C-alpha cells in the first residue's frame, strides 16, 4: 500500500520500519510479509528516476581517482537494481566463515534467493589447477521495480512512503525511538519497535555518521562508522587468444559458453594473505580486434606465428579481452566521512570518500594474471599478453567502481566493526543494517546475491523476536 501523506502513517499497523527499497529492503519486507509481519518502507527517491532526487548522492573522493560513484547509486524505488549488471553468485563457505557465519546459516537461503532473482540454483565450480577454478555465474534480468512495485501497491502488510529522506536516528538508553525524516521540506518523526537501514554501501555510513553527530550520547559506543570501505577494482588485465581444440579438451566443457564470458577465479586458500581475483575471458569476433591481438602476441612469441596462422585458417582461434574483478584489501583508513563543506538541499552534509587503492591487491592481481599466462603457455591453451599498466602498480586504474562495500562492517566486536552477525548495531537494541556496507571482505563476487540472503536471514530472526 502506498501512503501519500505522513498523516496516513499509523504506528499500530506495523512493527518494523525499513529505509530503502533496493534488493536488501524489499527482500526483507517481502519475507516479513510471508510471516504476517507488517512493515513501513521509507524511500527517499521517487517511483522512477529523477535527476533532482539523484543530486542528493553527490560525493567527492580524496586519494585514488575513481569513476563518479553517484553513477552506481540510484535514489528511486528498487535502488540500483534498476541498472545492476545481474551477475549472481553466492559467497563460498570460506567467505562466510570470514564474515563470522557458520556456512549453513546463510546457505539455507540460497534457493529462495534464486527465486527472487529468477535464476537457476546452479553455481558449479571445477578445478583447473592449484591456482584456478572454472566457475559458474547466473545472470539475473530482474528489475525490482518491474517485479515488485505492483505487489507492494496491493499489499496489506507493506506500507510504502516515497519521497521521504531519512535524516538521522534518535533515542535514549540504547534504544532508537524515532527516525527523523524530511518530507516536502518539513521534519517528521517516525516511530517503531525495530529500525532497519538499507540505503546502500555509502548512504548507510552517511546516515549513521550524521546520527552520531546529532546524538552522540546514543551512538557514543558505535565506533568504526565509515571505516574499511572497499570496492571491486574492475580492470582490463590484458588480451589473449584461446586454442579452441586444446582449451576444450583441457577445461570442463560444461562451463564453456562462447556467447558470454568464460569465468575463472583464483583458488581460495586458508591464509588471510590471499585475496581473490575473478578473471573474465570475453571473446570478440571483430577481425580488426583479432589482428591487433595476434600482433601483440607475436611481439611476445614470434616463434608461435606459424601455429597462430594455422589456427586462424582452421577457425580454431577465439580472441578477446581479459577483465579482472579484484578483491580489495580492507584498510581502516579507506573510509566514508561527512563533507565539511558541502550539503544537500535539506542541509545534510554529503558523504565524502577518503580512499587509496591497495598496492597489495594490485600486486596479487598481477601475479594471478601471470599465473594464467603461464598456464596457457604450458598447456598450449592459448597465449596471454598482460596489459602494460599492470607493470606500474601505482598507475593501475579501475574501469568501474560499481560495488561499494564496507563502512558498517560485520564483526564480533565494536573495536573493528559496526554490526554483529545478526546485523544489529553494536550496543543498540533495535537498529539493524543491511547491504553491501556490511561486507567484511569483498571477494571477487558481485554482492547482491549475498545481500538478499542476509535480508532473508534477518527477516527470520525478526520473526522469532516479534511473533
Least Cα distance to 384 among 236, 240, 246, 284 occurs for 240
Same-domain status, 184 and 206: yes
Within 276-383, residue ranges assigned H as helices are 287-300, 305-313, 359-378
pLDDT in tens, 367-386: 999 999 999 999 999 888 88
Exposure string (b/e) for 105-126, b if CB count within 10 Å is 16 or more? ebeebeeebbebbebeeebeee
* Domain enclosing residue 223, as ranges: 6-88+141-230+330-355+404-466
Query: What's the pLDDT at 128?
Result: 92
Sheet of 175-183, strands arranged across: 165-172, 175-183, 186-191
Same-domain status, 187 and 248: no
**Domains in the chain, number:** 2
Same-domain status, 268 and 180: no
Q: Is residue 97 part of a domain?
A: no
Q: Is residue 93 part of a domain?
A: no
Same-domain status, 443 and 418: yes
Q: Share the mean pLDDT of the chain.
A: 91
Same-domain status, 11 and 80: yes
pLDDT in tens, 311-357: 777 778 888 889 999 999 899 999 999 999 999 999 999 999 999 98
Exposure string (b/e) for 214-247, b if CB count within 10 Å is 16 or more? ebeebbeebbbbbbbbbbbbbbebbbbbbbbebb
Q: Is residue 117 part of a domain?
A: no
pLDDT in tens, 273-286: 568 899 888 877 77
Q: How far is CA 76 from the centre of its chain?
A: 18
Q: At which of 366, 395, 424 does a domain end?
A: 395
Distance CA 451, CA 263 (A): 22
Distance CA 36, CA 284 (A): 51
Same-domain status, 286 and 164: no
In this prediction, residue 437 has a pLDDT band, given cuts at 50, 70 and 90, of very high
Query: What's the pLDDT at 259?
Result: 59
CA angle 282, 288, 293 (to 5 degrees): 55
Q: At which of 377, 395, 413 does a domain end?
A: 395
Q: Is residue 33 part of a domain?
A: yes
Same-domain status, 55 and 78: yes
Residue 305 scores a pLDDT above 80: no
Q: Is the dihedral of CA 203, 209, 214, 217 positive or negative?
A: positive
Q: How far is CA 57 from the centre of its chain?
A: 17
Residue 270 scores a pLDDT above 70: no
% of residues, the chain, pLDDT over 90 = 69
Mean of pLDDT values over 383-409: 84
CATH number at residue 69: 3.50.50.60
Give bridge partners of residue 172 from the DSSP assignment.
175
Sheet of 60-63, strands arranged across: 60-63, 349-355, 335-343
Indicate the range of 66-70, 91-95, 280-284, 312-316 predicted with least confidence: 312-316
pLDDT in tens, 114-146: 999 999 999 989 999 999 999 999 999 999 999
Q: Is this model's pTM higher than 0.85 or not?
A: yes
In this prediction, residue 258 has a pLDDT band, given cuts at 50, 70 and 90, of low
In this prediction, residue 309 has a pLDDT band, given cuts at 50, 70 and 90, of confident
pLDDT in tens, 215-246: 999 999 999 999 999 999 888 898 888 888 89
Q: At which of 343, 375, 395 does a domain end?
A: 395
In this prediction, residue 248 has a pLDDT band, given cuts at 50, 70 and 90, of confident
Mean of pLDDT values over 386-394: 80
Query: What's the pLDDT at 163?
Result: 96
Cell numbers of 322, please?
581479459
Same-domain status, 386 and 337: no
Q: Tell me if 190 sits within 8 A of 178, measured CB to CB.
A: yes
Same-domain status, 48 and 79: yes
Mean of pLDDT values over 442-450: 95
Same-domain status, 299 and 202: no
Within 35-187, residue ranges assigned H as helices are 51-54, 93-99, 103-107, 110-117, 144-154
212: enclosing H helix or E strand: helix 203-214
DSSP symbols for 61-85? EEES----GGGG---BTTGGGGT--
pLDDT in tens, 164-215: 999 999 999 999 999 999 999 999 999 999 999 999 999 999 999 999 999 9
Q: Tell me if 305 sits within 8 A of 228, measured CB to CB.
A: no
Same-domain status, 205 and 244: no
Q: Is residue 431 part of a domain?
A: yes
Cell numbers of 220, please?
557514543
Residue 271 scores a pLDDT above 70: no
Query: What's the pLDDT at 55?
Result: 93
Q: Is residue 180 part of a domain?
A: yes
Query: What's the pLDDT at 447?
Result: 96
Q: Is residue 26 part of a domain?
A: yes
Write the burial class of residue 377 (CB in 10 Å: 0-12 exposed, 13-18 middle, 19+ buried): middle
What backbone torsions phi and psi does residue 276 show, to the nearest 5 degrees?
-90, 150
Q: Is residue 364 part of a domain?
A: yes
Residue 256 scores a pLDDT above 80: no
Same-domain status, 387 and 280: yes
Mean of pLDDT values over 14-26: 97
Amino acid at each position: 500500500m502506498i501512503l501519500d501523506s505522513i498523516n496516513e502513517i499509523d504506528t499500530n499497523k506495523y512493527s518494523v520500519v525499513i529505509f530503502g527499497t533496493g534488493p536488501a529492503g524489499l527482500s526483507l519486507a517481502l519475507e516479513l510479509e510471508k510471516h504476517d509481519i507488517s512493515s513501513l518502507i521509507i524511500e527517499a527517491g521517487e517511483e522512477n528516476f529523477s535527476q533532482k532526487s539523484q543530486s542528493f548522492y553527490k560525493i567527492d573522493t580524496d586519494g585514488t581517482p575513481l569513476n563518479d560513484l553517484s553513477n552506481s547509486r540510484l535514489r528511486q524505488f528498487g535502488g540500483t537494481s534498476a541498472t545492476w549488471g545481474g551477475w549472481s553468485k553466492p559467497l563460498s563457505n570460506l567467505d562466510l566463515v570470514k564474515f563470522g557465519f557458520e556456512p549453513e546459516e546463510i546457505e539455507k537461503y540460497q534457493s529462495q534467493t534464486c527465486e527472487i532473482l529468477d535464476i537457476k540454483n546452479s553455481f558449479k565450480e571445477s578445478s583447473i589447477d592449484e591456482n584456478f577454478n572454472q566457475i559458474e555465474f547466473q545472470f539475473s534480468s530482474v528489475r525490482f521495480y518491474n517485479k515488485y512495485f505492483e505487489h507492494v501497491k496491493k499489499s496489506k502488510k507493506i506500507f510504502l512512503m516515497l519521497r521521504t529522506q531519512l535524516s538521522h536516528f534518535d533515542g535514549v538508553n540504547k534504544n532508537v525511538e524515532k527516525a527523523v525524516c524530511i518530507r516536502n521540506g518539513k521534519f517528521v518523526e517516525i516511530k517503531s519497535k525495530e529500525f532497519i537501514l538499507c540505503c546502500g554501501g555509502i548512504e548507510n555510513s552517511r546516515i549513521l555518521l550524521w546520527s552520531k553527530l546529532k546524538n552522540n550520547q546514543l551512538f557514543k559506543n558505535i565506533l568504526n562508522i565509515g571505516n574499511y570501505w572497499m570496492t571491486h577494482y574492475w580492470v582490463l588485465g590484458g588480451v589473449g587468444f584461446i586454442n579452441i581444440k586444446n582449451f576444450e579438451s583441457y577445461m570442463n566443457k560444461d562451463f564453456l559458453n562462447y556467447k558470454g564470458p568464460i569465468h575463472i577465479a583464483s583458488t581460495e586458500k586458508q591464509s588471510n594473505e590471499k585475496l581473490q581475483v575473478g578473471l573474465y575471458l570475453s571473446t570478440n569476433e571483430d577481425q580488426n580486434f583479432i589482428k591487433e591481438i595476434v600482433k601483440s602476441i607475436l611481439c611476445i612469441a614470434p616463434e608461435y606465428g606459424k601455429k597462430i596462422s594455422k589456427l586462424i585458417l582452421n577457425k580454431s582461434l577465439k580472441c578477446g579481452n581479459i577483465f579482472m574483478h579484484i578483491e580489495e584489501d580492507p584498510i581502516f583508513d579507506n573510509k566514508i566521512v561527512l563533507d565539511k563543506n558541502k550539503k544537500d538541499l535539506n542541509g545534510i552534509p554529503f558523504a565524502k570518500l577518503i580512499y587509496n587503492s591497495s598496492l597489495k591487491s594490485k600486486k596479487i592481481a598481477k601475479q594471478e594474471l601471470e599465473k594464467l599466462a603461464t598456464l596457457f603457455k604450458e598447456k598450449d591453451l592459448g597465449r596471454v599478453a598482460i596489459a602494460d599498466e599492470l607493470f606500474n602498480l601505482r598507475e593501475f586504474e579501475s574501469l568501474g567502481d560499481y560495488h561499494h562495500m564496507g563502512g558498517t562492517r560485520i564483526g564480533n566486536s565494536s573495536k573493528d566493526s559496526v554490526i554483529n552477525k545478526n546485523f544489529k548495531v553494536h550496543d543498540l537494541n533495535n537498529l539493524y543494517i543491511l547491504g553491501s556496507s556490511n561486507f567484511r571482505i569483498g571477494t571477487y563476487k558481485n554482492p547482491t546475491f549475498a545481500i538478499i540472503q542476509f535480508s532473508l536471514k534477518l527477516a527470520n530472526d525478526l520473526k522469532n523476536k516479534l511473533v
